[in-house]
Chain A
Amino acid sequence: MGGTDSKAEYATLVRDAATGDRDAMERLLIRAQEVAYRFSLLVCGHPEDAEDVMQDALLKTYEHVGRIDDPSAFRTWLYTTVRNACLMKRRRRIGEPTSFDPVDPVRVVDPAPSADERLIEQGMDRRLRAALNRLPPAHRMVVVMREMDGLSTKDVAAVTGLSEANVKQRLHRARLALRRDLEQR
């Protein structure tokens, strides 16, 4: 499953989960973690943070479901929560000592594919992944939510705190940059 589940699908799952439907709760919580994994990897670019961000999304979603007044607002809430968890991770990273180890011995012994490589193996275009990584994070976030995960301009504006005009402008610039990058390589 990709990231393009509709707002209405989420709302239905939220309603069912809130009434005690365990199967709906299970599916909702798995989706919340999938959103967290993709966002963490594609937007924040720190795959090592993904597991923590997924766990955060799991617990917060579980606690939030019973208190939701408007199920149609759930998807926006989820992306806001995941975005905030990623931002917290970034803030904690600032000031950490930089490692100068010349090589990682674990990687030498066990060259497991990176999270990026595994997404590419699953079918994501390698050049697009590289081009996305070269975008500023603020533009990458808009591309991931708007183009890949199918959020509306209005929902992306709600998650990011930008105006809808700003979301459109960032998306336009990001598309131009991606196209230029993809055609140059």
Chain B
Amino acid sequence: MSEPSSECAAILANVSAYLDGELEATACAAIEAHCATCSSCARLVEGLRRTIGLCRHAGTVPIPEDVRARARDSVRRLLDDRARGG
């Protein structure tokens, strides 16, 4: 494994912006060129990409059905109550 260089430090500082699509094309190309020769940074970028993917998937997980059913019941009770002037 190669020793971390100043380029590695720059990757570490900018990797989130890179993965969020906030860097300009030349900066992205520099990161990709560095990762092609630095296995440590390539692992970092891939690891973060997987981590972000896991988080985003977690955002699509529904809440338990019984909690949702209770929420629905509370809403209907509230709306019925207010409709009756409560």
Contact = CB atoms under 8 A, between A and B. Distances in A.
B48 A179 contact: yes
B75 A178 contact: no
B67 interface: yes
A59 B82 CA distance: 11
Given A4-B59, A122-B61, A143-B55, A34 B71 contact: yes
The bracket for how many chain B residues form the interface is 20 to 34
Contacts of B59: 2-4, 147-150
Contact of A178 (B55, B60, B70): B55
Contacts of A130: none
Nearest to A34: B63
A167 B71 CA distance: 31
Contacts of B57: 123, 125
B78 interface: yes
> Dominant SS at the B interface?
helix
B54 A172 contact: no
Contacts of B78: 29, 58-59, 62
Given A25-B79, A176-B48, A179-B48, A147 B74 contact: no
A54 B58 contact: no
A147 B56 contact: yes
B71 A33 contact: yes
Contacts of A50: 67
Interface of B: 15-17, 44, 47-48, 50-52, 54-64, 67-68, 70-72, 74-76, 78-79, 82
30 contacts: A1-B62, A2-B58, A2-B59, A25-B79, A26-B76, A29-B71, A29-B75, A29-B79, A34-B63, A34-B68, A37-B67, A37-B71, A58-B74, A119-B63, A119-B64, A123-B57, A123-B62, A147-B56, A147-B58, A147-B59, A148-B56, A172-B15, A175-B48, A175-B52, A178-B51, A178-B55, A179-B48, A179-B50, A179-B51, A182-B54
Interface of A: 1-4, 22, 25-26, 29-30, 33-34, 37-38, 50-51, 54-55, 58-59, 62, 115, 118-119, 121-125, 128-129, 143, 147-150, 168, 171-172, 175-176, 178-179, 182-183
